[in-house]
Amino acid sequence: MEPSVSGTLNSVLQRIDLRGANRPYGSHLPRLDLSADMPTAAVREILSKVRDGGDDAVRSLTAQFDGVDIVDFRVAPETLREAWEALDTGLSAALQVAHDRILEFHREERAQSHEVTQDAITVSSIPQPVERAGLYIPGGLASYPSTVLMTALPARAAGVKEIVVCTPPNPLGEIDQAVLAAAHLCGVDELYKIGGVQAIGAMAYGTELICPVDVIAGPGNAWVATAKQEVAGTVGIAAAFAGPSEIVVVGDESCPTSSAAVDLVLQAEHGPGGRAWLVTWSEQYADEVETAIGDILSLSPRHKETLETLTEGGYLCLVDRPADAVEVVNVIAPEHLQLMCDNAKELAGSIRNAGAVFIGNWAPASIGDYVAGPSHVLPTAGTARFSGALTVDDFQKRMHIIEVSKDGFDVVGPAVSELAQAEGLWAHAASVRERERWANEGIKP
């Protein structure tokens, strides 16, 4: 049986009815075509300008895209400190709570050195932090101090020596005070008033003012995400495709419809390009949630942005049973997944593809956005199939130290020689024979 897709004049979400539909569900569900939606040619042109023109190009592009002329991009460290000291006590306390929880989580999660010995050959595996990390924090018309915490603190826990932040200026050429305060709290070393593709280019290639970084992390729109893909290889790109926000809510009558509705809206209010899904096996529940979404939208100060996201990327998917909902989720591979239904924890055990999973009615994704501990920089656009959240691992690389004794060499040498000869690598095999000669001639190196 083929699924049906429908919508009414009064509906916000596009309905997809998979009840009785043939498996697998992948062909029945809308998927983002990243290659079609990415502004690759325009991004390459901007990156080329930054690479060749340095600071002057960044100034020109900032005037073009942000509408402001900025002479000195760097925000002085004392300005960050002053922003923190002037912050409202309620907000500073909230940032401190989030800071402490996030930092503790990542310190506990970071990899440790370990050593393995086999046949007198010892290999030490040592996590080494990158020297310099570049973080992109979206901004301009909105501000995200939480994203400063969610990117800078994993880098700090990893042991990164220098942390650089780029964030777009507002129409007055300024940066939100809460963002500056969060940067001070996290010990950010450099902060620049640069946004968009030009920020990614400046961090990747360097300019007269900005030294290039080793790794770039942080979310952004399709232009920023494309820019990160384009500079990959010049620098490391942390985590997966962190684009517009997404959420899937799997719900039933055990969750109040108003809660399911507001949780769909909370990610959609980030603005255009995102996606919000309700997956349920109860048509009555689906109808009631959609009605509740309309009520919540009428109260939202971000009504326009939220409605646009839900209209263009909102879906209501009907399935026969909870197991089918899990299958749908694994195909979508969402950034955020909320399981607000009976047996939510049991269902979570079958989820393979999701950036972050929130279990139960007391766990809205907003908890993860701010204070749960893991970074809220998560894979989007289906990339949760092969990637996960931003972690300390994104700011480290493994270095292996191999120590071989004479006894260890005697054990493995013949195998090395045999493999090298099979691959036609004469010098590889000769390196073993040379050391065998030492033993035969009594040479002690």
Rounded to whole angstroms, the Cα distance separating 6 from 277 reads: 15
Q: Is 246 a catalytic residue?
A: no
Three state DSSP letters for the chain: CCCEEECCCCCCCEEEECCCCCCCCHHHCCCCCHHHHCCHHHHHHHHHHHHHHHHHHHHHHHHHHHCCCCCCCEECHHHHHHHHHCCCHHHHHHHHHHHHHHHHHHHHHCCCCEEEEECCEEEEEEEEECCEEEEECCCCCCCCHHHHHHHHHHHHHHCCCEEEEECCCCCCCCCCHHHHHHHHHCCCCEEECCCHHHHHHHHHHCCCCCCCCCEEECCCCHHHHHHHHHHECCEEECCCCCCCCEEEEEECCCCCHHHHHHHHHHHHCCCCCCEEEEEECCHHHHHHHHHHHHHHHHHCCCHHHHHHHHHHHEEEEECCCHHHHHHHHHHHCCCEEEEECCCHHHHHCCCCCCCEEEECCCCCHHHHHHCCCCCCCCCCCCHHHCCCCCCHHHHEEEEEEEEECHHHHHHHHHHHHHHHHHCCCHHHHHHHHHHHHHHHHCCCC
| Nearest-5° Cα angle at 4, 267 to 20 | 100
Catalytic entry in 99, 106, 184, 336: 336
Which residue in 133, 141, 182, 176 sits closest to 158, CA to CA? 133
Active site residue 115: no
Q: Is the peptide bond before 24 cis (omega within 30 degrees of 0)?
A: yes
Which residue of the set 335, 400, 436, 441 is catalytic? 335
Query: What residues are annotated to the active site?
Result: 335-336
